[in-house]
Amino acid sequence: MATMLERNKKTKAPVKTREEHAEDALYREVWEEVNNEKTLKFIKKYSRHILIAAFCIMIVVTGIQIGVRTYRANKLAMARNYEVAVENIDANALAGVANNASGAMADLALFQSYLLDKNIEKLEQLANDGNSRDFRDLARLHIVTMRGDQMTGKQVEEYLSDLNTKNSPFYYTASLTIAQKYLSEDNRDAANKWLDKIINDKNAPASIAGNAQILR
């Protein structure tokens, strides 16, 4: 600022005298003393609360660190148990992993356990309580394949209603399955509704669209 005044207005910046510098130094010293005194009073007044807060923060941080370590250790243990169960082709061990793990690993272990022992109750558990949509929908398709003869076309359509969205990876497969069930009942009008939906969808996989064309 002083340089700009000297350059643009041809004026000299005011120069403080020795007395003014001394006054500034005294003012800063008094101000620091006042602040230090206020800080000390605050600490003395709330020292108990500050210590409690610091202790609580320490407990929380320590708890988080322990929790993270435990979580990672459990994940690694589950991964090892899963690998051993797969290597041993052990349906019971895979079911145990499914019960103790979480997320897609639990779903995968349960589905593989079903593939080994063909226990449909595991499929039903996966269809109703699976952690991931992919495995829930896959389980429902398998259940229809196994129990479709005991279901009507309408029942199959209702059972697979959750798959009637492109958010499901089995959307087109489910649509073709429903159409085939209606055809088995000679209900061509209902079947054609599902077949046309596949045929008119440019994003339908070629194999499924081809099958729909043949059935139409």
- pLDDT tens for the 216 residues of the chain, in order: 455 545 555 555 566 666 555 556 655 655 565 566 666 665 566 666 555 655 556 655 555 555 555 556 555 656 676 666 667 777 888 888 888 877 788 888 888 888 888 898 998 999 999 888 999 999 999 999 888 889 999 999 999 999 999 999 899 999 999 999 999 999 999 999 999 999 999 999 999 999 999 888
**Residue 181 domain-assigned?**
yes
125: in domain: no
Burial class (CB in 10 A: 0-12, 13-18, 19+), 194: buried
In the numeric block, which tokens belong to residue 108? 């995968």
| CA dist., res. 89 & res. 112, Å (int) | 9
Looking at residue 116, its pLDDT comes to 87
Residue 200 domain-assigned? yes
In a domain, 173, yes or no: yes
Indicate whether 202 belongs to any domain.
yes
Number of domains the chain contains: 1
d(Cα 24, Cα 15) in Å, to the nearest integer? Answer: 13
Find the helix or strand (DSSP H, E) in which 161 lies: none
Which range marks the domain in which residue 157 is found?
151-216
**Residue 167, domain member (yes or no):** yes
Whether 195 maps to a domain, the answer reads yes
Characterise 132 by phi-psi region: left (phi > 0), alpha (psi -120 to 50), beta (else): beta
The DSSP symbol for 12 reads P
Residue 18 placed within a domain: no
